[in-house]
Chains A and B, each alone.
Chain A
Amino acid sequence: MAATSPIELWRHSRRALGALLAPLAGLLAGHSARAVDLPEDRAEALVHVYQGGGVTASGPALLVRKNIADRVSLTGSYYLDAVSNASIDVVTTASPFRERRHEFGAGLDYAVRDSLITLGVSKSDEPDYKSDTASIDVSQETFGGMTTVALGFSRGADKVLKHGDPSFNDTVKRWQYRLGVTQILTPSWLASANFEAISEDGFLGSPYRAARVFGAAVPERNPRTRSSRALKLRVKGDLGARNAMHAEYRYFWDTWAVKAHTAEAGYSRYFGDLWLADAFVRYYSQKHALFYSDNAPAETLYVSRNRQLSTFDSLGLGAKLSYTWKRVPGQYELKANGAYELVRFNFKDFTDIRTGSPYSFQANVLQLYVSATF
């Protein structure tokens, strides 16, 4: 058989894909011929600062979303993390360091009947860690627009390197599967349920971090696979008089025996026509991974002293204020925003080896940004 040209191959693929998707699209569209709305055109410019536990990470971030036709919306984003790291891991086993992480993202939203199809790619780059991710998400309005069902899949590939050791070179492959349902309950209340399964395969630790066995520092040893599941339930309600509240709960569990609960409640309120304020409280708690040990009393195949896998809880208190700077109805709207969160981490089985007490620290997260819709 003669070689097929790329154009013919594209035509064949398009026809085959069309034949496969047409009945599905018809089924999903149901009786409604109403088109779903594309996300509105917008731009966000952010300056973010995280400071806590000896780590400062800050930088600018930008996002632009533009509708270029009736059915397609394009997104581009850039994010910089300039990290200065003198965390407890670093000061007790190595030297403080600085590095930069750049992340670029691009996305395309396509609206067809009552469905919104989103394709995205992102690239994260830092001296000793590179990451590429591609994703597809489909959301479908159904039941007269009262229910939105969303399905998504992401595939990631990371490259793990080690500063000062050119022979170290490993990878991580990642698969993420998402399912979400958002339901209008009443003219004032919404609820949603999200489920996500994530599987990873590769080097899932840090080449720098040490574990402790019989009081001696040894390189940590993690399993090369990890599968996790998370289920999140949310409700949001309009309380009348331009007040709203939300509550959410997430349960997480994985094959490393980490189990975590996250609960959040928040309140939002307009002040006049120009100000919108939000406040929230978030509580997080987790149980340690099977192979986590503060100071292992025996040699085991896997051992880690990564405090991210330890037993701890955290309490966050946050607030956000938005001010509508300029508003030209039907043309554009410009907002200035500030958000702040204070988080307290309390570790139960991670000892600060400088003091011999359980480790704890406080972190500040600050976000100042301008957002525009046009």
Chain B
Amino acid sequence: MNTHPVRSAAMTAAVLIGCMLLGGCARLQPWVKPYEREKLADPIMQFSRDSLVEKHREHVRVVREGARGATGVQGGGCGCN
């Protein structure tokens, strides 16, 4: 056997932690009740408050940067030439 002892121990630890986490799933309950979500409902906590404005900002960036996507903002195609 040429398995490295450190790697083997790490693997065993990962499996044990995985089992513990999965075991927890069985009794996992929503821990923030609906009546505790008052702060989260405030406009200040919205990721995106005004869709048109977000879309414009996103368009400005997509036209100038190489990266795109995963912004949570829906945009159409654009003439970026």
Contacts and interface: CB of A to CB of B under 8 A. Distances in A.
How large, as a class, is the contact surface on chain B?
35 or more
A44 B68 contact: no
B42 to A, nearest CB: 7
Interface in A357-374: 365, 367, 369, 371
B53 A339 contact: yes
Interface string A136-163: 0100000111100000101011101000
Nearest to A39: B51
Contacts of A230: 67-70
B24 interface: no
A185 B30 CA distance: 10
Contact of B50 (A62, A172, A242, A371): A371
Contact of B30 (A143, A206, A365): A143
Nearest to B61: A284
Given A131-B76, A146-B31, A367-B56, 12 more contacts: A44-B52, A79-B56, A124-B77, A124-B78, A129-B79, A131-B77, A131-B79, A190-B45, A238-B44, A238-B45, A250-B71, A369-B50
A52 B40 CA distance: 37
Main secondary structure of the interface of B (DSSP, over half): loop
A35 to B, nearest CB: 14
Interface of A: 44, 46, 48, 50, 57, 61-63, 77, 79, 81, 101, 103, 105, 120, 122-124, 126, 128-133, 135, 137, 143-146, 152, 154, 156-158, 160, 172, 174, 176, 178, 180, 182, 184-188, 190, 192, 194-198, 205-209, 228-232, 234, 236, 238, 242, 244, 246, 250, 252, 254, 258, 260, 262, 268, 270, 276, 284, 286, 289, 308-309, 314, 337, 339, 341, 345, 365, 367, 369, 371
B19 interface: no
A198 B74 CA distance: 13
Contacts of B51: 44, 63
Q: Kindly name the residue among B42, B60, B79 whose own CB sees the greatest number of chain A CB atoms within 10 A.
A: B79
B66 interface: yes
A238 B39 contact: yes
A207 B76 contact: no
A131 B59 CA distance: 14
A365 B57 contact: yes
Contacts of B33: 144
B32 interface: yes
A196 B78 CA distance: 18
A176 B71 CA distance: 12
Contacts of B64: 308, 314, 345
Contacts of A105: 76
B52 A132 contact: no
B3 interface: no
A194 B68 CA distance: 12
Contact of A308 (B36, B50, B52, B66): B66
B67 A250 contact: yes
Nearest to B64: A308
B47 A209 contact: no
Given A50-B60, A120-B74, A135-B74, A63 B66 contact: no
Contacts of B63: 308
Contacts of A63: 51-52
